[in-house]
């Protein structure tokens, strides 16, 4: 059974701090990795994707991938109260992009 | 911007009724997906489609069927609704080979 594991949280950080969200996956053949943000009562929104080892930065967000350790992380710099949401890690193991496995999500709370 | 729309935001049905949930995307994406999301269980794939008239079972297809007669439209059918199908249903579309999924707003279905 392929799995994606996340700490459910809640992770609480003060405004302006760095929030670090982590995810591990079981399928060593996984090829693409995603982070989705889901506000309460809303649908998930894709915010980052990463396909190769290393870091990928987009504004205040940095995704980090370590395939050897089967570990993906999302850093949010200068956290804002509007970042308070559930963050879903997702991993895709097939080249067609069909079978994506989602983690259960980490709830992030940014205190003003 | 990718736009994925779903036919209803909220739906209340009775046990045994046939239920149709419709999803339309406007970005000419090849792949479309139906998920259900339940507290503590995360997102679970019901069915996906990679082309018109093509469909594949996901992880929890029992009690559901799908139809994709046009590229932009993917329908989920509950043949005989049961109370354990009360859930949030999310449709997503994805360009072929990317794994990046774009979600609709969701339909919260309650089966009484």
Return the C-alpha torsion angle B58, B59, B62, B64, nearest 10. Answer: -40
Provide the β-strand partners of residue A108. Answer: A11, A85
Q: What percent of chain A is predicted at pLDDT more than 70?
A: 96
State the DSSP code for B24: E
Q: How far apart are CA B100 and CA A3, in angstroms?
A: 19
Cβ distance of B103 and A98 shorter than 8 Å = no
Count of A–B CB contacts within 8 Å? 56
- d(CA B33, nearest CA chain A) in Å: 9
Cβ distance of A32 and B101 shorter than 8 Å = no
Q: For residues A2 and A103, is the Cβ–Cβ distance under 8 A?
A: no
A→B interface, C-beta within 8 Å: 31-32, 34, 42-46, 49, 88, 90, 92, 95-100, 102-105
Q: How far apart are CA A18 and CA A110, in angstroms?
A: 10
State the DSSP code for B41: T
pLDDT in tens, B71-85: 999 999 999 999 999
Can you give the pLDDT at residue B98? 86
- How far is Cα of residue A37 from the mean position of the Cα atoms in its chain? 8
Contact list in B for residue A23 (CB cut-off 8 A) is: none
- What average pLDDT does this structure show over A63-77? 97
- The set of residues, in sequence order, having a beta carbon less than 8 Å from that of B62 and lying 6+ positions away, is none
Q: Compare all CA atoms of chain B with the CA of A32 and give the residue at the minimum distance.
A: B99
Confidence of residue A65 (pLDDT cuts 50, 70, 90): very high
pLDDT in tens, B45-94: 999 999 999 999 999 999 999 999 999 999 999 999 999 999 999 999 99
Burial class of A68 by CB neighbour count within 10 A (0 to 12, 13 to 18, 19+): exposed
Can you give the pLDDT at residue A97? 64
Nearest to A102 among B43, B50, B104 (CB): B43
Cβ distance of A98 and B48 shorter than 8 Å = yes
pLDDT at A48 over 70: yes
pLDDT at B13 over 80: yes
- How far is Cα of residue A63 from the mean position of the Cα atoms in its chain? 8
Q: For residues B39 and A8, is the Cβ–Cβ distance under 8 A?
A: no
Q: How far apart are CA B47 and CA A65, in angstroms?
A: 29
């Amino acid at each position: 059974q392929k799995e994606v594991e996340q700490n459910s949280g809640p992770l609480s950080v003060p405004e302006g701090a760095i929030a670090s969200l982590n995810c591990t996956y079981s399928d060593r053949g996984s090829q693409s990795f995603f982070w989705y943000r889901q506000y309460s009562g809303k649908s998930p929104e894709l915010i980052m994707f990463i396909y190769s080892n290393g870091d990928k930065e987009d504004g205040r967000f940095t995704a980090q991938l370590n395939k050897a350790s089967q570990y993906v992380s999302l850093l949010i710099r200068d956290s804002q109260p509007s970042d308070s949401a559930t963050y879903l890690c997702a991993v895709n193991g097939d080249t067609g992009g069909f079978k994506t496995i989602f983690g259960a999500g980490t709830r992030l709370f940014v205190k003003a | 911007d990718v736009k994925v729309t779903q036919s209803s935001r909220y739906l209340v049905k009775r046990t045994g009724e046939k239920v149709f949930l419709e999803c339309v995307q406007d970005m000419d994406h090849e792949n479309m997906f139906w998920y259900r999301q339940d507290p503590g269980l995360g997102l679970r794939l019901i069915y996906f489609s990679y082309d018109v008239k093509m469909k594949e079972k996901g992880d929890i297809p029992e009690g559901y069927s799908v139809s994709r007669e046009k590229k932009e439209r993917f329908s989920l059918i509950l043949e005989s609704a049961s109370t354990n199908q009360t859930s949030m249903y999310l449709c997503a579309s994805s360009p072929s080979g990317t794994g990046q999924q774009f979600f609709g707003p969701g339909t919260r279905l309650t089966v009484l």
